[in-house]
């Protein structure tokens, strides 16, 4: 009888430990999802604030790649956001790189990878009065290039 109780107690302890591991995994997963949702909400709020500003401007980027890509920026505050949807994946070895172009001199404004079915919002802070154009090229992952190494696939005039 004592051995039966001991076996039952060991089995119950193992089940409890397994349940704790599953709950801990769910908590970590939920925390990651909440962090991702909070970041997406903050990005969307940034875009809404830019759209509401009376001095904001919007530029569509067009080119050889079919996608909905727009730079929304407020030149008075130096704040902007690149809003991207329906952009195809550039491949595992590549990223898209955003360039702000002053004369013939492009300056990197960040890299990004599209997420299937989700719009991307890339915050951009710059003195937009210095630039005449904005472009996106495909560069080597993970951090892009110091200068464009490929012809831009999308381009817009500021």
The tally of domains found in the chain comes to 2
Least confident of 24-38, 44-58, 95-109, 115-129: 24-38
**7: helix, coil or strand?**
helix
CATH number at residue 129: 2.60.40
pLDDT band of 122, cuts 50, 70, 90 = very high
Digit-coded pLDDT (tens) for 10-33: 777 777 777 777 767 776 766 777
pLDDT mean over 112-125: 90
Taking the C-alpha atoms of residue 110 and residue 144, their distance in angstroms, rounded to an integer, is: 8
- The pLDDT, as a whole number, for residue 40 is 67
> Are both 1 and 71 inside the same structural domain?
no
> Are both 75 and 146 inside the same structural domain?
yes
> Are both 65 and 129 inside the same structural domain?
yes
> Are both 131 and 88 inside the same structural domain?
yes
pLDDT mean over 92-107: 95
Whether the model pTM is above 0.85: no
> Are both 61 and 99 inside the same structural domain?
yes
- Which residues, in sequence order, are CB contacts of 81 under 8 Å at separation 6+? 43, 46, 47, 50, 71, 72, 73, 121, 122, 123, 124
> Are both 74 and 118 inside the same structural domain?
yes
> Are both 18 and 66 inside the same structural domain?
no
Tell which residue, 142, 11, 138, has the closest CA to residue 63.
138
Taking the C-alpha atoms of residue 93 and residue 68, their distance in angstroms, rounded to an integer, is: 23
Partners of 84 in beta bridges = 69, 120
> Are both 42 and 74 inside the same structural domain?
no
> Are both 71 and 91 inside the same structural domain?
yes
> Are both 42 and 65 inside the same structural domain?
no
Share of residues in the chain with pLDDT > 70 (%)? 84
> Are both 25 and 77 inside the same structural domain?
no
Dihedral, 126, 132, 134, 135 alpha carbons, nearest 10: -140
> Are both 85 and 15 inside the same structural domain?
no
**Domain extent at residue 107:** 55-157
């Amino acid at each position: 009888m004592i051995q039966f109780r001991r076996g039952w107690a060991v089995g119950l302890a193992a089940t409890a430990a397994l349940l704790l591991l599953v709950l801990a995994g769910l908590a970590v997963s939920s925390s990651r999802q909440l962090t991702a949702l909070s970041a997406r909400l903050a990005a969307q709020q940034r875009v809404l604030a830019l759209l509401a500003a009376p001095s904001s401007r919007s530029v569509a980027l067009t080119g050889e790649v079919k996608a909905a890509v727009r730079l929304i920026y407020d030149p008075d505050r130096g704040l902007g956001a690149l809003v991207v949807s329906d952009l195809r994946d550039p491949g595992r070895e590549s990223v898209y790189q955003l360039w702000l172009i002053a004369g013939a001199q492009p300056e990197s404004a960040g890299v990004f990878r599209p997420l299937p079915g989700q719009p991307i919002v890339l915050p951009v802070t710059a003195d937009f009065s210095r630039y005449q154009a904005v472009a996106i090229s495909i560069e080597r992952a993970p951090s892009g290039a110091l200068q464009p190494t490929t012809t831009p696939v999308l381009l817009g005039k500021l």
